[in-house]
Structure 1
Amino acid sequence: MRAVVFSRYGDESVLELTERPSPTPTDGEILVEVMAAGVNPVDWKHREGAVQSDRPFPLGMGWDVAGVVRATVPGGPAVGEAVYGMLPLPYGGAYQELTVLPVSAVAPKPARLSFAESAAVPLAALTAWQAMEAAGVKAGTRVLVHAGAGGVGHFAVQFARHLGAHVTATASARNLDFLHRLGVDEPADRATADLAASGPFDMVLDTVGGPVQHQSWHLLRPGGTLITLPEPVDEIHRLPGITAHRIIVAPDGEALRRIGTLIDSGAVHVEVQSVLPLEKAAEAHRVSAEGRVRGKLVLSL
């Protein structure tokens, strides 16, 4: 089968499109023919060595999959069924023609989405979903999402609105109208907005890290919750009375089933900036690392 792998950590030039043996599912796993693979920042961080595994080189790439079941388990999806799901971290294997996933990690592909659109969902949407759950977001919660037009961000603002929260989200000026269309109550230009004037917030979702995390502590009310994604909580900046968690996403087929229902009802929009062929994986990594992607990038197989 065709697969994108890498045999040493480095920039996008280490990616190789090669032929690899097809994987064989073990207990509790299904075999999926991959029609499309989502691209996430964790992909190129893995390639650079920031996210490492204990498996020997060459290593596979990617965690988001949409495709067709080719081998299954009792009680699992039928052979020929269209599914989407997320491979467990830290072992990649989405950028290839066949992959294996735990049956518990997949759900039926949303009917209204193409395979490419479906592949944009799992990792980012599950991250946003698990962040909302960790913070206990509900009707009336005041939520701030940093980088609300990005992969995780555009799902987070929609899930928060679905739960009845009042949502403020930051983005570049060119994406403020996009945030409006997603239902954000207060789109904020990340370069000029006075976020303190929109707060205090009950929950802040930091998808950026660094100074953004440091500033976010001061935007929360006493008893509020800071959820950070790209890096651990910086204890030097911790403020009393604020709860802080780092979310590391986990596969969850049941949550994907519920997310798929929201998508098929029209309550959640999936934004795909572009779809590239598998052989342009290096280009997709370059674009992703520039940090200006609206929604998601996808590789088509």
Structure 2
Amino acid sequence: MKSIILNAHGGVDQLQLREVPIPVANADEVLIKVHAISINPTDIYARQNVALNYIFNGEEPRILGWDIAGEITGLGRGVENFKLGDRVFGLLNFPTHTKPGHAKGYAEYVIARVKDISLIPESVSYDEAAAAALAALTIWQPLKKVPIQKGNRVFITGAGGGVGHFAVQIAKHFGAYVITLASGSKRDFILSLGADEFIDYQTVDFLNALEPVDYVIEGLRDGHLARSLKVVKKGGNLLSLWSQIEGTSWQKQASDLGIHAFYNAVESSGKDLAEIAKLLEKGAVKPHISKRFHLNEIGKAHEAMETNHATGKIIVNPNY
């Protein structure tokens, strides 16, 4: 089968198309013919940074990719809840800050643990399902722990990106009044998702334009977090999607302001994906795919992600 090998950490030139053997499913695993791969920031960081080499668990060849959708073509021992031909999607074997997770998703076939996958609703395409794995889980999992209440004023930064555009839709699903921050070029797109207000960060300082909110979903990194804390009501919540809070100056700032600020690391979970599948099926969330690439164009897909200006999601299709 065709696969993309990470030859060494570095630029996109280190991603090489090669033929490798089709893997074999072991107990509680399935073999999936991959129809769609979703590109995420994690893919870029893992390609660039030698400090993340631990995620490959010492295995060769090193193959990036965790977010996939496809068709089951092989069953390992003990698999009972899935069958050959099932359309499934998953965030496969995703690593943590300390634990490896080598899913090998940049390939025509991939092995998945049954606990990491869920069925795709008939009305949902492979591309849409792949787009909704990691990105939707990144919002869904923390909001299960610290829910948005109906009528909450929710401020979402980076609202036009892969995770952000799901945050807008899921917050609306919970009955929130949603205020968004992004570049002016994304205004119409974000409002079409159901956002109630839009602030163009290129022309407006949100600190001067925004009344206090109940909840911030912080989709930007590092220093922006301290500014966002200033608009949260006492007793409110701030979810940081990228920056750790515990033990930082931001935690002290939040505590002084009477705000609950937290970070949540996304985890592989077929159970949670089944809940995302229900949202997809009833149209509560609709993935937006801005660019599609073939497997042999993986470098271009990475470059598109590296601009940090992609609207919605970027998908790679191994089979067209």
Secondary structure of the corresponding residue to residue 160 of structure 2: coil
State the SS of the aligned residue for 1:78.
coil
Q: Which amino acid aligns with 1:227?
A: L
Letter in 2 for 1:208: L
Determine the C-alpha separation between the residues in 2 that align with 1:88 and 1:203: 30
Q: Deviations over 1:68-103 (max 9, x none)?
A: 011234322111111111112222411101111111
2:248 to 235, 252, 258: 235
In 1, the alpha carbon distance for the partners of 2:238 and 2:145 equals: 10
Provide the residue aligned with 2:162 in structure 1: 151
- Is it true that 1:183 corresponds to 2:182 in the alignment? no
Q: State the alpha-carbon separation in 1 of the partners of residues 177 and 231 from structure 2.
A: 15
Percent identity, aligned pairs only, is 32
In the alignment, the residues of structure 2 paired with residue 47 and residue 57 of structure 1 have an alpha-carbon distance, to the nearest angstrom, of: 15
Does the CA contact (< 8 Å) of 2:6 and 2:14 recur in 1?
Answer: yes
Give how far 1:219 is off: 1.6
For 1:238-253, list aligned pairs within 5 A. Answer: 238=251, 239=253, 240=255, 241-253=258-270
Find the partner of 2:302 among 260, 285, 294. Answer: 285
The answer as to whether partners of 2:103 and 2:111 remain within 8 angstroms in 1 is no
Tell me how far 1:57 sits from its aligned partner. Answer: 4.3
Contact 1:59 1:92 in 2 (8 A): no
CA–CA distance in structure 1, aligned partners of residues 52 and 136 of structure 2: 20
1:203 to partner: Cα distance: 1.7
Counterpart of 2:125 in structure 1 is 114
SS of the residue corresponding to residue 215 of structure 1 reads helix
| Distance in 2 separating the partners of 1:33 and 1:249 | 25
Given that residues 131 and 205 in structure 1 are in contact (C-alpha distance below 8 angstroms), is that contact kept between their aligned partners in structure 2?
Answer: no
1:198 deviates by 2.3
1:300 aligns with 2:311: no
2:291 to 261, 274, 296: 274
Q: 1:142 to 1:135 in 2, by over 3 A?
A: farther
- What is the alpha-carbon distance in structure 2 between the residues aligned to residue 86 and residue 105 of structure 1? 6
Q: Which shifted more, 13-22 or 192-201?
A: 192-201
User: Which residue number in structure 2 is paired with residue 44 of structure 1?
Assistant: 44
Asked if the contact 1:143–1:203 (Cα under 8 Å) also holds between the matched residues in 2, the reply is yes
For the structure 1 residues 161 and 32, does the alpha-carbon distance in structure 2 shift closer, same or farther, using more than 3 Å as the test? Answer: same
Matches within 5 A, 1:206-221: 206-221=218-233
Counterparts of 1:144 and 1:51, CA distance in 2? 32
Q: Does 1:68 align with 2:71?
A: yes
Partners in 2 of 1:84 and 1:300 — Cα distance?
14
Q: Give the secondary-structure state (helix, strand or coil) at the position aligned to 2:47.
A: helix
Question: In 2, Cα distance between the equivalents of 1:111 and 1:103?
Answer: 20
Give unpaired runs (5+ residues) of structure 2: 96-101
Cα offset, 1:297, TM superposition: 0.3
Scaled by the length of structure 1, the TM-score of the pair is: 0.94
How many residues are aligned here?
Answer: 301
Aligned to 2:14: 14
Describe the SS at the equivalent of 2:230: helix
Aligned to 2:99: none
Provide the alpha-carbon RMSD of the alignment.
Answer: 1.6
Does the aligned pair in 2 maintain the 1:143–1:160 contact within 8 Å?
yes
Contact kept? 1:116, 1:275, Cα under 8 Å: no
In 1, the alpha carbon distance for the partners of 2:272 and 2:23 equals: 26
Q: 1:34 matched to which residue of 2?
A: 34
Q: Does the 8 Å contact 1:7/1:57 carry over to 2?
A: no
Q: Partner amino acid for 1:251?
A: S
* Residue in 2 that maps onto 1:224: 236
Measured in 1, the distance between the counterparts of 2:172 and 2:21 equals 45
**In the alignment, which residue of structure 1 is the partner of 2:113?**
102
Whole-angstrom CA distance in 1 between matches of 2:259 and 2:276 = 29
- Aligned counterparts of 2:210 and 2:160: Cα–Cα separation in 1: 18
Deviations 1:1-47 (A, max 9, x none): 11112121111111011111222223222111111100011111111
Aligned residue among 195, 203, 210 for 1:192: 203
Please give the alpha-carbon distance, in whole angstroms, between the structure 2 residues aligned to 1:186 and 1:225. 19
